[in-house]
Amino acid sequence: MFRFIEGYQGPLSIAETCTILKVSRAGYYKHKQRCPSATEIENEVLSELLSAIFQEHKERYGSRRIQFILKRDYQLAVSRRRITRLLQAQGMYTRGTRRKYRRQQQENPVVQNNKVNQNFEVSSKNILWFGDITYIQTAEGTLYLSSYIDAYSRRVVGYQIENHMRDELVIECLIAAVNREKPKPGLIIHVDQGTQYTGHRFFDAIQDHELVLSHSRKGNPYDNAVMESFYKTLKREVLEKYGFKTKSDAVMIIVDYLENYYNSKRIHSSLNYLTPDEYILSPN
């Protein structure tokens, strides 16, 4: 997050950006004073070059062809593995092979019974949360948004935006939401059977915080209809409205929408035309 603030070129000041992203200015300035390692500097320069080559060839070149271009035009010997890693860190995937659309196989996935069964009505907050990931396209590459929604109030209780969709994206997002909301033991976390949610590390996080894991049935999006509806709204009201030129622009606009609009100002027909924040406080 500090690296994002450092590279942000928008109209907001450092103080305003830190406030919106909920990080301390002291932490940011401490980060700035740290000298990056030689490898970090090299990776940053190489990442910019890889991005330029990738965009020049309209996302058609994979690691093999980019490796050849680096050797021929820049006299740089770079392994295909490193090229792939640096491209994927920027959300860049060759056309037709985008990993974000794949459900990769893993050994011994942890799949729990569906404890919701499309019954989305609960009596109070922090009884049932829904979670999912969506992607955000920008001219600089792809970002990934992990979110958790409270079934009772339709409130966004947690979200995180990163350049990757590894399991730490959903784990860190969940832990931050739990620390903020402080639910009682037994809160149900309902998610799909994506690899991020069926891995042992995610299940360990569930158990460590005394939560209960529930999985949708394979190929049944209606089991997670609350998240489907939320992301449909986000895409209609934000993602389709803006053609994000940079990742920093995308982060700032989405954070502003979630922090300053969705929970506090956007009314929901399913909540008797109240906002999520109002619904929690209403007698219902």
Note the pLDDT tens digit of each residue in 18-66.
666 666 767 666 666 666 678 877 888 898 889 888 878 877 888 999 9
Lowest mean pLDDT among 3-7, 109-113, 268-272, 276-280: 3-7
> The CATH number of the domain where 195 resides is what?
3.30.420.10
Residue 104 lies in a domain: no
* pLDDT class of 9 with cuts at 50, 70, 90: very low
Same domain, 87 and 156: no
Distances from the Cα of 25 to the Cαs of 2, 13, 16, 205, in angstroms? 10, 11, 10, 29
Q: Which stretch of DSSP H or E encloses residue 227? A: helix 225-234
Q: Are residues 181 and 69 in the same domain?
A: no
Q: What are phi and psi of 34, to 5 degrees?
A: -75, 130
Report the first-to-last Cα separation within the chain, whole angstroms: 38
Looking at the structure, tell me whether residues 135 and 263 fall in a common domain.
yes
pLDDT of residue 45: 85
Q: What is the pLDDT of residue 99?
A: 45
Within this chain, do residues 167 and 213 fall inside the same structural domain, yes or no? yes
Per-residue confidence (pLDDT) for residue 29, from 0 to 100: 64
In a domain, 192, yes or no: yes
Residue 152 sits in the same domain as residue 13:
no
pLDDT at 183 over 50: yes
**Final residue belonging to a domain, choices 96, 114, 144:** 96
| Confidence at residue 36, expressed as pLDDT on a 0 to 100 scale | 67
Query: What is the pLDDT, as a whole number, of residue 92?
Result: 72
Q: Is the pLDDT of residue 8 over 60?
A: no
Question: So what's the pLDDT on residue 258?
Answer: 93
141 membership: H or E segment, kind and range: strand 141-150
Give the position of tokens 């948004």: 145
Return the exposure string of 62-71: e unless at least 16 CB atoms fall within 10 Å of the residue's CB, then b: bbeebbebbe
Strands 156-162 and 141-150: antiparallel
Mean pLDDT, residues 128-142: 91
Instruction: Give the 3-state secondary structure of residue 211.
Output: coil
Instruction: Indicate if 30 and 132 belong to the same structural domain.
Output: no
Any domain includes 120:
no
Q: What is the pTM of this model?
A: 0.66
Give a yes or no: residue 236 inside a domain: yes
What is the C-alpha to C-alpha distance for residues 62 and 97, in angstroms, rounded to an integer?
9
In a domain, 110, yes or no: no
For residues 14 and 134, state if they share a domain.
no
147 with 190, same domain? Answer: yes
Contact between 63 and 135 under an 8 Å Cβ cutoff? The reply is no
In-domain check, residue 115? no
Question: Within a domain: residue 116?
Answer: no
Does residue 52 sit in the same domain as residue 193? no
How many residues in total does the chain contain? 284
Q: Which residues contact 196 (CB under 8 A, 6 or more apart)?
A: 133, 165, 166, 167, 169, 170, 202
- Does residue 94 have a pLDDT over 80? no
**Pair 184, 270 in one domain:** yes
How many structural domains is the chain composed of?
2
> Is 105 contained in some domain?
no
Cα(209)–Cα(185) distance, rounded to whole angstroms?
A: 7
* Domain-terminating residue out of 96, 111, 139: 96
Residues 60 and 136 in one domain: no
Residues 92 and 138 in one domain: no
The Cα 168–Cα 174 span in angstroms is 10
Domain extent, residue 277, equals 128-281
